[in-house]
Amino acid sequence: MAAPPELIDDAISEILIRFPPEEPAYFFRASLVSKSWRRILTDPAFLRRYRRFHGTPPLLGFFHDYSVMVPTPRFFSTMVASPFPAAAFERRPWFALDCRHGRVLLRKIDESDEDDAGIEGNFVVWDPNPITGALADLDKPDNPHTSSAVVVCSVTGCDHRDCNDGPFLVVCVREDRSKVAHACVYSSETGAWGTPVSVQLGAYLYVNSHRGTLVGDEIHFVLGLDVGILSYNLLEHNLSIIDPPDMYYHGYIVLIPMEDGSLGLAGIRNSSLYLWSRKVNAEGVAGWVQCKIIKLQTLLSLDHPCKRGYLIGFAEDASVIFMFTAAGAFIVNLKSGQARKVGKYQSYFYVIPFMTFYTPGLSESIKSQFWKDLDSMVASEVFDVSRGGKQEAKDTWWWNDEVQRAIKEKKECFKRLHLDKSTTNIEGYKIAKRAAKQAVSVAKDQAYDNLYQRLGTKEGEKDIYRMARIREQKTRDINEIKCIKDGVDRLLTLCEENSGDRDRGSFEEDEEW
């Protein structure tokens, strides 16, 4: 029988261009079909056409700075294979500040000097695309203390679908002790920071550290405990202040761009999500108009009443906001009115969505990582098997009450410092950090002294024997035992030497484990 005719490149392109952008795993699989398919998938012209075809970049995951002790941006992937190895950032002292137009804005925590450890460091703009990806290390502004910062594409009229390797701006805002807000802009084209601009904050205390919102040519930041809005105009290079709606919200508010291009605001009050839009009336006066009220109990399909929820982020282009309750973290789509759970309950401070057209490179290391992730996913979801993994948790078995008190105090000082970088909070954090370090050192030395003394006793010999048994069991070849369940979900075992006797009833009933 004759082989079927090969598809021409145009037909292949029409097939590949319809792959869903929210799951880049399809690109990996298609690249292994043939060299011609791989050539098409890596062709810059095809990739530009692919982005135009799908329009809005998909949401591929989000960063979340949930650790107070170690301010490292963790990444939660919504895909089968993560777009980049989690280990790339897990052990580095960086904050994720913003993610927009295919770039991620990070801030290093300077640990080179003991007295200034954990205070301020350089900005880094990262392009995560493995084909064009690069790290841009920015110089510090004249005043390194920053409350919030955003990264934006600097090309006028750009549709932001294929500009991740183009010129960009970084806008930083901060406040001083005189209640004056300052904004300074870095340009990748000049490689320098511009002249700062300022505005008096008045009754507002400080600039919130949450992510800024881009609406048209303006970037908006939350002031204080959700009591005001600081706006920076990219074209006019000036700052202004906007009063929020006259309603109190518990938790945080988030600023969002509305479909009509106006500034929007979302807040939670009495188990309901309120949406506002800033409109200009016939007299040219701008004011807030309430657009929608969403009942969280119905939206999230919770078994128990939603007594309190917190808004922890937003995705501008996707019209979704992030929130967490006692039931976990959720993504809420403001257009469809639907919600999806994306994480378990934990102490989220803020999340930053990662939205981009991720068209992965095809190096051996990236393909190997993809198949490893896919293998783990299949083992977990299809066969209900965990492949295990190395624990990355801190070694804290020797912590005593004194250490825990010192660590708790350090966390509280860091929280205050993260919200308000005043001299008092900076000095308080330094003192708490040194006290925690001293408490840890003393407790650790004492714990190891006790351990060494115990090893010289009879109980210590028993401990060593138990550890040896556990180590031997963990390193046994998994192929020594084969397992299968029967029709009533009972676990049956088959020894390796009897693996060919399945039809002769060599299975034995075993206990569930």
Q: In the structure encoding, which two tokens stand for residue 385, read together?
A: 């098997």
pLDDT-derived band at 187, boundaries 50, 70, 90 = very high
Mean pLDDT of 90-95: 62
Please report which confidence band the pLDDT of residue 212 belongs to, taking 50, 70 and 90 as the band edges.
very high
Burial class (CB in 10 A: 0-12, 13-18, 19+), 185: buried
Can you give the pLDDT at residue 241?
Answer: 92
| Of residues 468 and 107, more confidently modeled | 107
* pLDDT of 502 over the 60 cut: no
Q: Cβ distance 121 to 112 under 8 Å? A: no
User: Residue 337 burial (CB < 10 Å; 0-12/13-18/19+)?
Assistant: exposed
Closest among 370, 354, 367 to 128, alpha carbons compared? 354
Q: Is 210 exposed, middle or buried (0-12, 13-18, 19+ CB in 10 A)?
A: buried
Beta bridge partners of 313: 322
Q: Which residue has the higher pLDDT, 121 or 379?
A: 121
Whether pLDDT at 493 is above 70: no
Of 35 and 168, the structure prediction assigns the larger pLDDT to: 168
| pLDDT > 50? residue 432 | yes
pLDDT at 182: 94
Average per-residue pLDDT for the chain: 74
Ramachandran area for residue 470 (φ above 0: left; ψ -120 to 50: alpha; else beta):
alpha
Of the listed ranges 242-256, 332-346, 364-378, 414-428, the one predicted with least confidence: 364-378
Please report, for residues 45, 105, 125, 131, the alpha-carbon distance to residue 187 in angstroms, rounded to integers and kept in the order given.
Answer: 28, 14, 12, 23
Q: What is the pLDDT of residues 342-376, one digit of tens each?
A: 777 666 677 888 887 776 554 444 445 544 554 45
Residue 196 token pair = 């700062």
pLDDT, residue 237, reads 94
Please say if the pLDDT value at position 194 is more than 90: yes
Q: What is the pLDDT of residue 337?
A: 79
SS (H, E, C) 40-67: HHCCHHHHHHHHHHHCCCCEEEEEECCC
Q: What is the pLDDT of residues 252-272, one digit of tens each?
A: 789 999 988 899 999 888 778
Distance between CA atoms of residues 241 and 256, nearest Å: 16
- With H, G, I as helix, E, B as strand and everything else as coil, classify residue 454: helix
The average pLDDT across 68-95 equals 59
Six-digit token string for 277: 């839009």
Spatial CA neighbour of 298 closest among 342, 331, 337: 337
- Pick from 244, 238, 198, 240: nearest CA to 224: 244
Sorted by sequence, the CB contacts under 8 Å of residue 153 that are 6+ apart come out as: 100, 101, 160, 163, 166, 167, 168, 169
Among the listed residues 106, 97, 170, the one whose alpha carbon sits nearest the alpha carbon of residue 135 = 106
